[in-house]
Chains A and B, each alone.
Chain A
Amino acid sequence: GESVGLHLPTLSVQEGDNSIINCAYSNSASDYFIWYKQESGKGPQFIIDIRSNMDKRQGQRVTVLLNKTVKHLSLQIAATQPGDSAVYFCAEARRDSSYKLIFGSGTRLLVRP
Protein backbone atom coordinates (compact mmCIF):
# COMPACT_ATOMS: atom_id res chain seq x y z
CA GLY A 1 0.00 0.00 0.00
CA GLU A 2 0.95 3.64 0.28
CA SER A 3 3.14 3.02 3.36
CA VAL A 4 5.51 0.79 1.36
CA GLY A 5 6.81 3.73 -0.59
CA LEU A 6 7.63 5.61 2.61
CA HIS A 7 10.30 3.13 3.60
CA LEU A 8 13.19 4.26 1.48
CA PRO A 9 16.36 2.21 1.63
CA THR A 10 18.62 3.98 4.11
CA LEU A 11 22.38 4.17 4.21
CA SER A 12 23.85 5.32 7.52
CA VAL A 13 27.49 6.38 7.54
CA GLN A 14 29.89 7.99 9.97
CA GLU A 15 30.96 11.53 9.21
CA GLY A 16 34.23 11.44 7.33
CA ASP A 17 33.68 7.98 5.86
CA ASN A 18 33.05 7.34 2.20
CA SER A 19 29.51 6.57 1.02
CA ILE A 20 28.44 4.41 -1.87
CA ILE A 21 24.88 4.61 -3.14
CA ASN A 22 23.76 2.09 -5.71
CA CYS A 23 21.13 2.16 -8.41
CA ALA A 24 19.87 -0.37 -10.94
CA TYR A 25 18.45 1.17 -14.08
CA SER A 26 15.87 -0.42 -16.31
CA ASN A 27 16.48 0.41 -19.96
CA SER A 28 19.56 -0.87 -21.76
CA ALA A 29 18.93 1.81 -24.43
CA SER A 30 19.41 4.64 -21.92
CA ASP A 31 22.41 6.76 -22.84
CA TYR A 32 22.44 9.42 -20.17
CA PHE A 33 22.43 9.04 -16.39
CA ILE A 34 22.22 11.56 -13.64
CA TRP A 35 22.31 11.72 -9.86
CA TYR A 36 20.17 14.14 -7.91
CA LYS A 37 20.20 15.07 -4.24
CA GLN A 38 16.93 16.03 -2.61
CA GLU A 39 16.75 17.64 0.80
CA SER A 40 13.53 17.67 2.75
CA GLY A 41 11.00 20.10 1.29
CA LYS A 42 13.15 21.02 -1.70
CA GLY A 43 13.42 20.17 -5.34
CA PRO A 44 16.04 17.75 -6.68
CA GLN A 45 19.51 19.26 -7.02
CA PHE A 46 21.92 18.13 -9.73
CA ILE A 47 25.03 16.35 -8.46
CA ILE A 48 26.73 14.68 -11.41
CA ASP A 49 25.92 13.04 -14.72
CA ILE A 50 27.52 10.51 -17.04
CA ARG A 51 26.99 9.40 -20.62
CA SER A 52 26.83 5.79 -21.71
CA ASN A 53 30.17 6.04 -23.51
CA MET A 54 31.92 6.53 -20.17
CA ASP A 55 32.50 4.20 -17.21
CA LYS A 56 33.49 6.76 -14.64
CA ARG A 57 33.23 10.44 -14.02
CA GLN A 58 34.52 12.47 -11.13
CA GLY A 59 33.37 15.70 -9.61
CA GLN A 60 34.13 17.47 -6.40
CA ARG A 61 34.05 14.75 -3.70
CA VAL A 62 31.72 12.66 -5.88
CA THR A 63 32.33 9.90 -8.41
CA VAL A 64 29.78 8.15 -10.59
CA LEU A 65 30.46 4.66 -11.92
CA LEU A 66 28.48 3.11 -14.75
CA ASN A 67 28.37 -0.61 -15.49
CA LYS A 68 26.31 -1.09 -18.63
CA THR A 69 26.72 -4.85 -18.61
CA VAL A 70 24.62 -5.22 -15.48
CA LYS A 71 22.76 -1.91 -15.81
CA HIS A 72 24.15 -0.55 -12.59
CA LEU A 73 25.03 2.95 -11.50
CA SER A 74 26.74 4.02 -8.31
CA LEU A 75 27.48 7.30 -6.59
CA GLN A 76 30.50 7.53 -4.35
CA ILE A 77 30.78 10.43 -1.91
CA ALA A 78 34.18 10.95 -0.34
CA ALA A 79 34.57 12.18 3.23
CA THR A 80 30.85 12.33 3.84
CA GLN A 81 29.66 15.42 5.68
CA PRO A 82 26.48 16.12 7.67
CA GLY A 83 25.32 18.35 4.82
CA ASP A 84 25.28 15.31 2.57
CA SER A 85 22.30 13.89 4.48
CA ALA A 86 19.46 13.75 1.97
CA VAL A 87 17.63 11.43 -0.38
CA TYR A 88 19.59 10.55 -3.51
CA PHE A 89 17.93 9.61 -6.78
CA CYS A 90 19.42 8.21 -9.91
CA ALA A 91 17.71 8.87 -13.21
CA GLU A 92 18.16 7.54 -16.74
CA ALA A 93 17.30 9.12 -20.06
CA ARG A 94 17.67 8.69 -23.80
CA ARG A 95 18.65 11.29 -26.35
CA ASP A 96 16.03 10.00 -28.79
CA SER A 97 13.36 10.45 -26.13
CA SER A 98 14.02 14.17 -25.49
CA TYR A 99 16.04 13.20 -22.40
CA LYS A 100 12.88 12.56 -20.40
CA LEU A 101 14.09 11.41 -17.01
CA ILE A 102 13.04 8.11 -15.49
CA PHE A 103 13.76 8.20 -11.79
CA GLY A 104 14.73 5.39 -9.48
CA SER A 105 13.08 5.03 -6.09
CA GLY A 106 15.78 6.79 -4.07
CA THR A 107 18.13 6.09 -1.16
CA ARG A 108 18.18 8.05 2.07
CA LEU A 109 21.67 8.91 3.29
CA LEU A 110 22.06 9.60 7.02
CA VAL A 111 25.39 10.94 8.24
CA ARG A 112 26.17 10.25 11.88
CA PRO A 113 28.26 12.93 13.63
Chain B
Amino acid sequence: NAGVTQTPKFRILKIGQSMTLQCTQDMNHNYMYWYRQDPGMGLKLIYYSVGAGITDKGEVPNGYNVSRSTTEDFPLRLELAAPSQTSVYFCASRPGTGGGKETQYFGPGTRLLVL
Protein backbone atom coordinates (compact mmCIF):
# COMPACT_ATOMS: atom_id res chain seq x y z
CA ASN B 1 0.00 0.00 0.00
CA ALA B 2 1.20 3.49 -0.86
CA GLY B 3 -0.86 4.91 2.02
CA VAL B 4 -1.94 8.52 1.66
CA THR B 5 -0.50 10.32 -1.33
CA GLN B 6 -0.73 14.01 -2.14
CA THR B 7 0.02 16.02 -5.25
CA PRO B 8 1.58 18.41 -5.98
CA LYS B 9 4.39 18.60 -3.43
CA PHE B 10 4.84 22.33 -3.93
CA ARG B 11 2.98 25.04 -5.80
CA ILE B 12 3.19 28.79 -6.21
CA LEU B 13 -0.06 30.57 -6.98
CA LYS B 14 -0.85 34.15 -7.81
CA ILE B 15 -3.58 35.92 -5.86
CA GLY B 16 -6.96 35.08 -7.36
CA GLN B 17 -5.86 31.89 -9.09
CA SER B 18 -7.50 28.58 -8.35
CA MET B 19 -6.15 25.08 -7.90
CA THR B 20 -7.00 21.64 -6.65
CA LEU B 21 -4.89 19.76 -4.17
CA GLN B 22 -5.15 16.04 -4.74
CA CYS B 23 -5.33 13.38 -2.04
CA THR B 24 -5.64 9.65 -2.61
CA GLN B 25 -5.55 6.73 -0.19
CA ASP B 26 -5.40 3.06 -1.14
CA MET B 27 -6.32 1.64 2.27
CA ASN B 28 -10.09 1.68 1.75
CA HIS B 29 -10.50 4.11 4.62
CA ASN B 30 -13.90 5.65 5.15
CA TYR B 31 -12.76 8.82 6.89
CA MET B 32 -10.62 11.47 5.24
CA TYR B 33 -9.47 14.87 6.44
CA TRP B 34 -7.79 18.02 5.19
CA TYR B 35 -5.62 20.09 7.53
CA ARG B 36 -3.49 23.16 7.09
CA GLN B 37 -0.35 23.90 9.07
CA ASP B 38 1.04 27.39 9.34
CA PRO B 39 4.74 27.84 10.25
CA GLY B 40 5.54 26.63 13.78
CA MET B 41 1.93 25.80 14.51
CA GLY B 42 -0.24 22.76 14.96
CA LEU B 43 -2.60 21.51 12.28
CA LYS B 44 -6.09 22.94 11.85
CA LEU B 45 -8.95 21.02 10.27
CA ILE B 46 -10.38 22.46 7.06
CA TYR B 47 -12.86 19.81 5.90
CA TYR B 48 -13.51 16.17 6.51
CA SER B 49 -15.51 13.29 5.07
CA VAL B 50 -16.99 10.22 6.74
CA GLY B 51 -17.54 8.41 3.48
CA ALA B 52 -18.10 8.82 -0.23
CA GLY B 53 -20.64 11.54 -0.93
CA ILE B 54 -20.48 13.00 2.59
CA THR B 55 -18.41 16.03 3.56
CA ASP B 56 -18.50 18.53 6.41
CA LYS B 57 -16.74 21.67 7.54
CA GLY B 58 -13.94 21.73 10.04
CA GLU B 59 -12.46 24.58 12.00
CA VAL B 60 -11.21 26.74 9.09
CA PRO B 61 -13.29 26.00 5.95
CA ASN B 62 -13.55 29.50 4.48
CA GLY B 63 -11.97 29.80 1.05
CA TYR B 64 -11.98 26.05 0.40
CA ASN B 65 -14.25 23.41 -1.06
CA VAL B 66 -14.10 19.62 -1.14
CA SER B 67 -15.79 16.71 -2.80
CA ARG B 68 -15.76 12.97 -2.15
CA SER B 69 -17.05 11.09 -5.14
CA THR B 70 -15.04 7.94 -4.39
CA THR B 71 -13.67 6.28 -1.27
CA GLU B 72 -10.11 6.78 -2.49
CA ASP B 73 -10.06 10.46 -3.46
CA PHE B 74 -10.66 13.62 -1.47
CA PRO B 75 -9.59 16.71 -3.44
CA LEU B 76 -9.37 20.17 -1.87
CA ARG B 77 -10.27 23.14 -4.04
CA LEU B 78 -9.07 26.72 -3.64
CA GLU B 79 -11.17 28.99 -5.81
CA LEU B 80 -9.65 32.42 -5.29
CA ALA B 81 -6.22 32.05 -3.72
CA ALA B 82 -5.27 34.60 -1.07
CA PRO B 83 -1.93 35.18 0.71
CA SER B 84 -3.57 33.95 3.93
CA GLN B 85 -3.82 30.52 2.32
CA THR B 86 -0.05 30.19 2.17
CA SER B 87 0.49 27.09 4.26
CA VAL B 88 1.32 23.42 4.19
CA TYR B 89 -1.70 21.22 3.54
CA PHE B 90 -1.98 17.71 4.87
CA CYS B 91 -4.48 15.05 3.98
CA ALA B 92 -5.20 12.21 6.40
CA SER B 93 -7.37 9.13 6.54
CA ARG B 94 -8.52 6.52 9.04
CA PRO B 95 -10.42 3.24 8.72
CA GLY B 96 -13.39 3.70 11.05
CA THR B 97 -14.15 3.41 14.74
CA GLY B 98 -12.96 1.05 17.43
CA GLY B 99 -10.00 -1.27 17.73
CA GLY B 100 -7.44 1.33 16.83
CA LYS B 101 -9.31 2.52 13.77
CA GLU B 102 -9.42 6.05 15.16
CA THR B 103 -5.80 6.68 14.26
CA GLN B 104 -5.35 9.11 11.40
CA TYR B 105 -2.56 8.51 8.92
CA PHE B 106 -1.12 11.52 7.15
CA GLY B 107 0.19 12.17 3.69
CA PRO B 108 3.49 13.98 3.01
CA GLY B 109 1.85 17.37 2.49
CA THR B 110 1.53 20.02 -0.19
CA ARG B 111 3.38 23.28 0.34
CA LEU B 112 1.46 26.21 -1.12
CA LEU B 113 2.75 29.72 -1.56
CA VAL B 114 0.34 32.46 -2.66
CA LEU B 115 1.94 35.65 -3.94
In this complex, what residue of A is CB-closest to B104?
Answer: A101
Given A44-B43, A89-B42, A106-B40, A100–B106 Cβ distance below 8 Å? no
- Residue pair B33, A100 in contact (C-beta under 8 Å): yes
Number of interface residues of A (CB under 8 A): 28
Contacts of A43 in B (CB 8 A): 4, 90, 92, 106-109
A44 B102 Cβ-Cβ under 8 A: no
Q: In angstroms, how far is the closest chain B Cβ from the Cβ of A8?
A: 5
> Which residues in window 18-58 of B have CB below 8 A to A?
31, 33, 35, 38-45, 48, 50, 56, 58
Whether the Cβ atoms of A5 and B38 lie closer than 8 Å is yes
Q: Give Cα A100 to B48, complex, Å.
A: 8
By the criterion CB–CB under 8 Å, are B43 and A89 in contact? yes
Q: Show the binding face of A for B, using Cβ within 8 Å.
A: 2, 5-8, 32, 34, 36, 41-46, 49, 89, 91, 93, 95, 98-106
Other A-B contacts than A36-B106, A46-B104, A102-B59, 13 sampled, CB-CB below 8 A, are A5-B39, A42-B109, A49-B103, A91-B42, A93-B102, A98-B50, A99-B94, A100-B33, A100-B48, A101-B33, A103-B35, A103-B42, A106-B40
